[in-house]
């Protein structure tokens, strides 16, 4: 299916002229070829580019890899899958995520790492 027109958050597909037919596609996933994706402004990243990246804490070192990105009301969260153990979430906030490049550099705040106890 080819996109005939793009405007804001609206798409018009070639061959879909009846609103009821288009409505049937609601809540469907839309896949776009990588070379057709618009570049993002500095500091923004596509979710697909984050998944699989290694996450490094400035004090603890390697934490694991991003297994998914979860949307929440305030900010996104990275689900971190360590080499051993269960996955855990860290918020994608400016005070936690320091930089995103080949790896994701973070500064875990107290209580974010699953190995921490309440007394620590």
Please state the pTM of the whole predicted model.
0.73
Nearest alpha carbon to residue 106 among 54, 69, 40, 67:
54
The per-residue pLDDT for 97 is 96
Name the more confident of 20 and 50: 50
CA distance to 60, 90, 115, per residue, from 119 (Å): 18, 20, 11
Chain segment 26-54, per-residue pLDDT in tens: 788 878 888 888 888 888 888 889 999 99
Q: Degrees (nearest 5) of the Cα angle 27, 65, 106?
A: 100
Chain segment 81-93, per-residue pLDDT in tens: 999 999 999 999 9
Check pLDDT > 80 for residue 6: no
Mean of pLDDT over the chain: 85
CA distance 77 to 54: 15
Check pLDDT > 50 for residue 120: no
The per-residue pLDDT for 106 is 97
pLDDT above 90: percentage of residues in the chain = 47
- Residue ranges and CATH numbers for the domains of the chain are 3-31 (no CATH), 47-106 (2.30.30.240)
Check pLDDT > 90 for residue 63: yes
């Amino acid at each position: 299916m080819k996109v005939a027109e793009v405007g804001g958050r609206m798409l018009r597909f070639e061959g879909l002229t009846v609103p009821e037919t288009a409505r049937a596609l609601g809540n469907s996933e839309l896949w776009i070829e990588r070379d057709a994706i618009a570049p993002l402004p500095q500091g923004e990243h596509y979710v697909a580019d984050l998944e699989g990246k290694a996450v490094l804490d400035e004090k603890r070192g390697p934490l694991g890899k991003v297994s998914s990105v979860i949307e929440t009301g305030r900010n996104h969260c990275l689900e971190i899958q360590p080499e051993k153990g269960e996955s855990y979430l860290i918020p994608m906030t400016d005070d936690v995520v320091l930089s995103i490049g080949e790896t994701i550099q973070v500064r875990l705040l107290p209580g974010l790492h699953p190995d921490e106890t309440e007394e620590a």
